[in-house]
């Protein structure tokens, strides 16, 4: 299984890098952690929305509409079985001023945020093996401050996945948190990852100057 960090594939060079990963592995399934910005893909891909997306397309996918997309499967406080692995995802990032609003009140670019409704819906999922999130839990990364989100901490505690994959920060970091292996993924133009669906072992591969 191919696993990818942020793609930012609205940029032509980064889109070509994204497709190179698909050609290299010819995967049966792909997991991606947001800022995808490309929804016509060469292989079935399960992803969470980041803060940089085409939000009309994301909204359509939330509503089960797939026109104009190919192989793009959004996980928005939902779960799917992918190669016998139960994968769940939280789409969006955190904004304190939007969190308590109903999702129906978010418009335009503000649709990039998750709300309390999204967190509550995600927390009700069960039997999750892998959890995808664009926003990091606390304690994983540091920039002189902790950019993590306590609502993601709560989901890790509620869901107890074996593996949590994180986007947004463009850094490879790993930690054991509340019994879950948490991995912040490098962006797709620096690294790609291979996941063994039987063991959930994750192998990182650098590309170009990051090799």
pLDDT digits (tens, 9 = 90+) for 5-23: 999 999 999 999 999 999 9
Tokens standing for 128?
Answer: 């999750």
Enter the pTM of the model. 0.96
H/E segment holding residue 165? strand 163-166
Q: What does the pLDDT read at residue 207? A: 85
Strand partners, 70: 40
Residue-by-residue DSSP string for 88-157: EEE-SB--TTTTTS-GGG--GGGGGB--HHHHHHHHT--S-SEEEESSPPTTS--SSS----HHHHHHHH
Segment 125-172, tens digit of pLDDT: 999 999 999 999 999 998 889 999 999 999 999 999 999 999 999 999
Question: Residue 112: which pLDDT band, with cuts at 50, 70 and 90?
Answer: very high
In what side-by-side order are the strands of the sheet with 78-82? Answer: 78-82, 85-90, 130-133, 163-166, 180-184, 173-177
Q: What does the pLDDT read at residue 208? A: 64
Question: Residue 59: which pLDDT band, with cuts at 50, 70 and 90?
Answer: very high
Length of the chain: 211
Segment 88-103, tens digit of pLDDT: 999 999 999 999 999 9
Q: What does the pLDDT read at residue 211? A: 37
Question: Residue 78: which pLDDT band, with cuts at 50, 70 and 90?
Answer: very high
Is 80 exceeded by the pLDDT of residue 62? yes
| Cβ within 8 Å of residue 77, ≥6 positions away | 88, 89, 90, 91, 114, 118, 119, 121, 122, 125
Rounded to the nearest 10°, the torsion over CA 89, 93, 98, 102 is: -20
């Amino acid at each position: 299984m191919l696993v990818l960090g942020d793609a930012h594939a609205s940029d032509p060079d980064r889109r070509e890098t994204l497709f190179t990963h698909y050609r290299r592995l010819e995967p049966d399934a792909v997991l991606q952690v947001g800022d995808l910005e490309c929804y016509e893909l060469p292989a079935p891909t399960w992803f969470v929305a980041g803060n940089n997306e085409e939000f009309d397309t994301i909204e359509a996918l939330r509503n089960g509409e797939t026109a104009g997309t190919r192989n793009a499967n959004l996980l928005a406080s939902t779960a799917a079985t992918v190669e016998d692995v139960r994968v769940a995802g939280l789409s969006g990032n955190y904004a304190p001023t939007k969190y308590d609003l109903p999702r129906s009140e978010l418009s335009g670019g503000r649709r990039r945020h998750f709300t309390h409704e999204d967190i509550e819906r995600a927390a009700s999922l069960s039997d999750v093996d892998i959890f995808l999130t664009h926003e990091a839990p606390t304690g994983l990364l540091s920039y002189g401050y902790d950019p993590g989100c306590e609502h993601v901490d709560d989901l890790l505690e509620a869901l107890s996945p074996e593996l949590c994959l994180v986007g947004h920060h463009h850094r490879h970091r790993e930690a054991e948190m509340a019994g879950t292996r948490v991995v912040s993924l490098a962006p797709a133009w620096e690294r790609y990852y291979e996941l063994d669906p039987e063991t959930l072992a994750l192998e990182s591969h650098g590309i170009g100057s990051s090799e």
